[in-house]
Amino acid sequence: MHLAAGGLGATWNTSGAYTALQTDIVFGNVPQEPDRVITLTCYGSSDDPSLSTSVVSLQVRTRCEGQEKRKVDDLDDAVFNILHSAQHLIVGTGSAAVHIVQCQRKSQASLGQDVNGRWSDSSNYDVTVHRPSANRT
């Protein structure tokens, strides 16, 4: 996975098993544990009916332990440095592989602290992908 290989010290584990000391990368729902996590969620898209270009929205939520907000800001900045303006990436393998043409952050906001005092940020990216199909060239 591109984020795990990007020098964040974050771990993508296909089994979903992580230690409490790792920064997890997960898809979908934000887990209660561990304290330090990067959660990726795709939502909405715009698809050209005849061309093979689509734009997928990606929310990247970061969360860190402790009372110091700077930790989560630093993690969000590190993710930004890897994803923003990234071009020509291949995600997945075989027939499920998707070519990412370009990724651009469109918004960022602090989500505040949760009931455990952990800070969270949310960054939203537009990901332009090339997804040809039988009906699109």
With CA atoms as reference, report the closest residue to 25 among 42, 1, 57, 7: 1
Sheet of 87-91, strands arranged across: 10-11, 23-27, 37-47, 53-64, 119-130, 98-113, 87-91
The model carries a pTM of 0.86
Work out the pLDDT band at 26, boundaries 50, 70, 90: confident
With CA atoms as reference, report the closest residue to 59 among 118, 12, 120: 120
Work out the pLDDT band at 1, boundaries 50, 70, 90: low
**In order of start, what are the domains of the chain with their CATH numbers?**
4-112+122-130 (3.30.2000)
For residue 134, count other CB atoms closer than 10 A to its CB: 5
Written as six digits, the tokens of 90 are 């291949």
What pLDDT, in 10s, does the model give residues 58-83? 999 999 998 899 999 999 999 999 99
Query: What is the predicted pLDDT for the residue at 31?
Result: 84
